[in-house]
Structure 1
Amino acid sequence: MNEVGNAPIAPGGDSRRRDMDLRGWLRRMEDTGRLAIAKPGASLQFAVAGLANRHDGRQALVAPAPEGHPDGIVVSGLLSRREWMAEALGIAPQDLLAEFQAAIRSPVAVREVADAPCQEVIHENVDLTRLLPIPTHNEHDSGAYITAGLVICRNPETGVQNVSIHRLQISGAREMGALLLPRHTLSFFTEAEERGVDLEVAVVVGASPACLLASQAIVPIDFDELTIAGALGGAGVEVVRCRTVDLLVPAQSEIVIEGRFRAGLRKPEGPFGEFPQYYGERADRHVLEVDCVTTRRNPMLHTIVGGALEHLILGAIPREATILNSLRDNFPNVQDVHLAPGGTCRYHLYIKMKPRQAGEAKNVIMGAFAAHYDIKHVVVVNEDVDIHDAEMVEWAVATRFQADRDLVVVSGVQGSKLDPSTDNGYGAKMGLDATVPVDAPPFRFTRIRVPGEAEIDLNAAVAQGVTLAQVLDEGA
């Protein structure tokens, strides 16, 4: 077994193996009553996605033997609550951002193995539509999509791997269309295309929770996200070398699709239901040509329904960690941040801080806009407000905010291109300072409180089995 990657193993390693592979996490969900198993024969066109949505945030879904694939298994909704993600990693929910930040600071190198479960079965004559049970999610999607595939490629200059998630349209038996946004994968492809060559790629489906979360990290180029997954999991990720491309993929994964992004080739892709719960439009986009597929025996295909909680949570946690780091560099009294589900876990940011001087919350608002271009609306509150409780945030706005004094509006700025209210991303941003003025008389903003309420033991204080008739002594 060899240690490879761009980061060393931490001295002595971490004896905890906190991370679970996909199967281990599903067993944990089943053992705790959070797994729904559909009847065989569910249609891959809308029905599997519909079932996943109906269970979203309450139970994960396993759909065995979907229509047309008697041996197939589709799973979804595995990580649709941030508490589940923390649990899968052996982390307390309140420590999730701190642990993610620590994993980026102290990555753990991958460990290459010769044999791996993800290569138990090898398919060289590939027809994706017949081989894999790939669902169609939303009404106007252009067809079936792989949505939970980790796209792994190398920097042509340095050889360092990158891991990310891109939507992948099934365009033919051996062909997928891909939306590559201006990030590291597109940078590597552009470099390869300028040289006149294809970019080798592996699409990993059915990865561990740690690998899924790490893939969304906002880190500098030439930072292998699998080393973040190793730090999150407490040990280096076991990887195996692909059979037809020079890439290392997580050994415990369910499915690996090997191929190449084709230089000089673009074909229509989309529409597709995206995280704002609107459709990304159809356009000529990059093409992935498939050479080989390897799988476990009886592989499970993980699908993330567009716009569902799993989609939102996976993107939110790494963004929150990055935004919190950025804000604390300049405002150490910022305590926490939260990308609210009502803002699609991208557009609405709640910030908890302890203001020390007048106007500081407005500076924090502007720092938040600079921390990530997706952020559209920011609400800053005091440390007594639970930013994970939308009602508490709304209460702070209702009782501590005045529009003519506490509102920040910035016009003519770049935001998310997937926000349909913008002009291709060009729009406005708004911040609300819902903090208590630092010079306010203390009693003016003192919240009401019943002393001892939180300490009451309800089981001891509430009579069990006593009826109102008995209290009123009726019929005695």
Structure 2
Amino acid sequence: MKSQTPQHALQASDVNDLRSAIALLKQHHGQYIETDHIVDPNGELAGVYRHIGAGGTVKRPTRIGPAMMFNNIKEYPGSRVLVGVHASRQRAGLLLGCKPEDLAFHMGQAVKNPIEPVNLSAGSAPCQEQIFRADDPDFDLRKLLPAPTNTPLDAGPFFCLGLVLASDPELGVSDVTIHRLCVQGKDELSMFLAAGRHIEVFRQKAEAAGKPLPITINMGLDPAIYIGACFEAPTTPFGFDELSVAGALRNRAVELVDAVSVPQKSIARAEIVIEGELIPNVRVQEDQHTHTGHAMPEFPGYCGDANPSLPLIKVTAVTMRHQAILQTLVGPGEEHTTLAGIPTEASIYNAVEAAIPGFLQNVYAHSAGGGKFLAILQVKKRTATDEGRQGQAALIALAAYSELKNVILVDEDVDLFDSSDVLWAMSTRYQGDSSTTFLPGIRGHQLDPSQMPDYSPSIRDRGISCKTIFDCTVPFALKDRFVRAPFQEVDPRPFAPELFD
């Protein structure tokens, strides 16, 4: 394995694509490694990274570690696969130019100050340095790109970080979303679209008119684009272009270019772009070639069920940079927590701050919930009249992010990013019968395997959940009885300088 350091120091503001992001990471010890050891994309690559840096809800043993470039892919000479760019909160802070604990505030400001994308002229985009058209008789997506599988149960090879760009066929507004994309043939992909997603609305409109929906699948991107794209309604309502969040994060507009084979835009500095059309009234079984019954490992840590009927993408072209990098992730890993969780945190913080200014100190979308199911809210009760506002903050959080399932409330003296400290608060400042609020019968996330009628008689339909608020804050009137043991404030660096470099 090898790591390199560039000659000139880069800042987060210098990042405008994946390659400049890698160059930035190379400057920081422990954030990026490479290997020339040959690896099979079919299961082995994910199996290796599980031990290097996957983290999240991946089966133990795993850990948070560096991003990793695989330079030698079995049966794909010249291809490179990168995994784990987002698999660390510290790394996200480096790439976005802020402290890890300030990411929610940083993202919250970006979504309130969007900068719209701009268009480049044809022939000037790095993503189109190489063009492979599907009408070429030798075209075969399966041989062109090393789409990985995560486990032996996967329905097939998946593109796990394919940012789909599509437009409303009636209104013209665009949206970007990361979707589950399974390779089904030499020029075919299945696409999983959750109900209510904006691109699913676009697809339904096109299908009702009997027309295909042109799309581009953009991979290998500036990390700000991926993270910005993961905001959801109501924070980013219908018609809001999430690429403008990335523009705000970089203070520089994201560049787009006309696709070469469909009437749609591509992200100009992407490593790889798959162009195609969602075909109306055509459905395929996700595991039609493997019949495993499973799709791939999803963020809750389980192998999701294969969908029996998914829309089909007919690929029309692939464009890419020279020596293109295919970027992927390990489904249940920490990378999902970063991508989904930081926009979740920003959405919750902005909503609560607007309703109760100064009360919410910070928020963490915990990796145990994949950045979606579990949020820790740190609050500060300043006066007696603040008692009870912690429950209001939790309700606002549940409204701001509909897929959130559980909220844990802690005081300002608890480190919300330290699970041991949060559990300490639950152990010493929480009584189950009086500190718990149950909200049954509310729509949750369809990938939560416990949200089924046969799991609990209170669940009327799949996807319905009991949402729960755990109030681990001290009642304001009792705060003087719950003061943490004081220690002398000292500077430890002269005693152990090697620990504080």
Q: Using structure 1 for the length normalisation, give the TM-score.
A: 0.90
| Closer, same or farther: CA 212–439 of 1 in aligned 2, 3 Å | same
In terms of Rg, which structure is larger?
1
Please give the residue correspondences for 1:305-384 in structure 2 after superposition, counting only pairs within 5 Å.
Answer: 305-332=330-357, 333-355=359-381, 356-384=385-413
1:427 equivalenced with 2:465 (yes/no): yes
Q: Following the alignment from structure 1 to structure 2, what is the Cα–Cα distance between the partners of residues 385 and 37?
A: 37
Give the alignment partner of residue 456 of structure 1, picking from 491, 495, 501: 491
| Closer, same or farther: CA 366–113 of 1 in aligned 2, 3 Å | closer
Is residue 12–residue 94 contact of structure 2 (8 Å, CA) maintained in 1? no
Partner of 2:163: 150
Q: CA deviation at 1:301?
A: 0.3
Q: Following the alignment from structure 1 to structure 2, what is the Cα–Cα distance between the partners of residues 224 and 364?
A: 28
Give the alignment partner of residue 77 of structure 2, picking from 70, 77, 94: 70
Partner of 2:480: 443
Is residue 18–residue 234 contact of structure 1 (8 Å, CA) maintained in 2? no
Q: CA deviation at 1:91?
A: 2.4
Partner of 1:296: 321
Q: Following the alignment from structure 2 to structure 1, what is the Cα–Cα distance between the partners of residues 398 and 118?
A: 39
Q: In structure 2, the residue corresponding to 1:86 is in which secondary structure?
A: helix
Q: Following the alignment from structure 1 to structure 2, what is the Cα–Cα distance between the partners of residues 352 and 280?
A: 32
Is residue 162–residue 218 contact of structure 2 (8 Å, CA) maintained in 1? yes
Q: CA deviation at 1:281?
A: 1.3
Q: CA deviation at 1:344?
A: 2.3
| Paired positions, count | 446
Partner of 1:235: 252
Q: CA deviation at 1:61?
A: 1.0
Give the alignment partner of residue 256 of structure 1, picking from 273, 284, 293: 273
Q: CA deviation at 1:235?
A: 0.8
Structure 2 letter corresponding to 1:348: L
Q: Following the alignment from structure 1 to structure 2, what is the Cα–Cα distance between the partners of residues 361 and 263?
A: 47
Structure 2 letter corresponding to 1:431: I
Q: Following the alignment from structure 1 to structure 2, what is the Cα–Cα distance between the partners of residues 368 and 334?
A: 11
Partner of 1:193: 207
Q: Following the alignment from structure 1 to structure 2, what is the Cα–Cα distance between the partners of residues 121 and 19?
A: 23
Q: Following the alignment from structure 1 to structure 2, what is the Cα–Cα distance between the partners of residues 395 and 216?
A: 31
Q: In structure 2, the residue corresponding to 1:405 is in which secondary structure?
A: coil
1:398 equivalenced with 2:427 (yes/no): yes
Q: Following the alignment from structure 1 to structure 2, what is the Cα–Cα distance between the partners of residues 462 and 157?
A: 64
Structure 2 letter corresponding to 1:458: R
| Closer, same or farther: CA 445–212 of 1 in aligned 2, 3 Å | same
Q: CA deviation at 1:463?
A: 10
Give the alignment partner of residue 44 of structure 1, picking from 41, 46, 51: 41
1:290-331 C-alpha deviation (Å, 9 max, x unpaired): 001111111110011111111221111111111222222323
Is residue 218–residue 274 contact of structure 2 (8 Å, CA) maintained in 1? yes
Give the alignment partner of residue 231 of structure 2, picking from 205, 214, 217: 217
1:117 equivalenced with 2:126 (yes/no): yes
Gaps of 5+ in 1: 1-14, 465-476
Structure 2 letter corresponding to 1:172: G
Q: In structure 2, the residue corresponding to 1:439 is in which secondary structure?
A: helix
| Closer, same or farther: CA 319–16 of 1 in aligned 2, 3 Å | closer
Q: Following the alignment from structure 1 to structure 2, what is the Cα–Cα distance between the partners of residues 51 and 16?
A: 29
| Closer, same or farther: CA 235–46 of 1 in aligned 2, 3 Å | same
| Closer, same or farther: CA 40–368 of 1 in aligned 2, 3 Å | same
1:200-239 C-alpha deviation (Å, 9 max, x unpaired): 0000111111111111122111111212111111211122
Is residue 411–residue 429 contact of structure 1 (8 Å, CA) maintained in 2? yes
1:180 equivalenced with 2:193 (yes/no): yes
1:159 equivalenced with 2:172 (yes/no): yes
Q: Following the alignment from structure 2 to structure 1, what is the Cα–Cα distance between the partners of residues 366 and 436?
A: 19
Please give the residue correspondences for 1:126-145 in structure 2 after superposition, counting only pairs within 5 Å.
Answer: 126-145=139-158
Partner of 1:58: 65
Is residue 161–residue 224 contact of structure 1 (8 Å, CA) maintained in 2? yes
Partner of 1:471: none
Partner of 1:169: 182
1:204 equivalenced with 2:242 (yes/no): no
Is residue 109–residue 236 contact of structure 1 (8 Å, CA) maintained in 2? yes
| Closer, same or farther: CA 427–265 of 1 in aligned 2, 3 Å | same
Is residue 379–residue 409 contact of structure 2 (8 Å, CA) maintained in 1? yes
Is residue 337–residue 366 contact of structure 2 (8 Å, CA) maintained in 1? no
The percentage of counterpart residues that share the same residue type is 31
Please give the residue correspondences for 1:10-29 in structure 2 after superposition, counting only pairs within 5 Å.
Answer: 17-29=13-25
* RMSD between superposed Cα atoms in Å: 1.9
Partner of 2:441: 412
Q: Following the alignment from structure 1 to structure 2, what is the Cα–Cα distance between the partners of residues 275 and 374?
A: 13
Partner of 1:82: 89
Gaps of 5+ in 2: 1-10, 54-63, 288-294, 453-461
Q: Following the alignment from structure 1 to structure 2, what is the Cα–Cα distance between the partners of residues 329 and 31?
A: 38
Q: Following the alignment from structure 2 to structure 1, what is the Cα–Cα distance between the partners of residues 497 and 348?
A: 48
Q: Following the alignment from structure 2 to structure 1, what is the Cα–Cα distance between the partners of residues 474 and 21?
A: 43
1:340-372 C-alpha deviation (Å, 9 max, x unpaired): 112222111111112344333223333332222
Q: Using structure 2 for the length normalisation, give the TM-score.
A: 0.85
1:360-415 C-alpha deviation (Å, 9 max, x unpaired): 32233333322223222211111111111111111111111112221112222221
Is residue 12–residue 24 contact of structure 2 (8 Å, CA) maintained in 1? no
Partner of 1:469: none
Give the alignment partner of residue 298 of structure 2, picking from 271, 274, 294: 274
